[in-house]
Amino acid sequence: MKHDTSQRDALILAVDETLCVIADALYRLSDQDDSRERFPLVVTDKLSHALRSVHRYQPRAVIVCASREHLGKTSTLIEQLHRRRSHDPVLAIVGKHDDQVERAVRIAGATHYFPIESASDARAIGDVIGGASIRVSVSTLGRQRSVKRSRASPPAPRSRGHPHSSFLF
């Protein structure tokens, strides 16, 4: 079996199937027919599989779906991505803003944090990934309030590591 190894704009990672709704929200905001191909979604609870996927697709940025329920695995994944690919942006996206999740993913090494609540959030993700990578169809959103949360660089982490990895190896 031959794998496509062409570079993608971004790779979306989720540690559980329940987090796919966050990626789906990002896909809905994009008005591009090929968004699923340009931003493939990989769902895995195995760190090694996630890292192999990043190596295979060579994305300009990695987007990690996050939630409070899966914060341990998500933080471990972000920490490993930051450690192994510190030159690439790691974006954490959530369905709705959560202070605890934002704090944890930033400590783990996420360079950006975005709640996917409106078109401006998706546009900001596109700016981070590389300009016009994500074009947004505002007509599908109605009138939603935007809460943009991103920084040019991550805050200095106060702590690193977790006593036990929640990933299966």
Tens of pLDDT, residues 12-57: 999 999 999 999 988 887 766 677 887 899 999 999 999 999 999 9
pTM: 0.74
Average pLDDT value for the chain:
77
Task: Using the predicted structure, report yes or no on whether residue 66 has a pLDDT greater than 80.
Answer: yes
Give the pLDDT score at 31. 62
Q: Which position has the higher pLDDT, 38 or 164?
A: 38
Give the pLDDT score at 89. 92
101: nearest Cα among 124, 126, 70: 70
Interatomic CA distance for residues 116 and 123, integer angstroms = 10
Give the pLDDT score at 133. 41
C-beta atoms surrounding 153 within 10 Å: 7
Q: What is the 3-state secondary structure (H, E, C) of 38-71?
A: HCCEEECCEHHHHHHHHHHHCCCEEEEECCHHHH
Give the pLDDT score at 143. 32
pLDDT, tens digit (0-9, with 9 covering 90-100), for 80-118: 999 998 888 999 999 999 999 999 999 999 999 999 887
What confidence category does residue 130 fall into, taking pLDDT thresholds of 50, 70 and 90? confident
Delineate the domains of the chain, giving CATH numbers in brackets: 10-140 (3.40.50.2300)
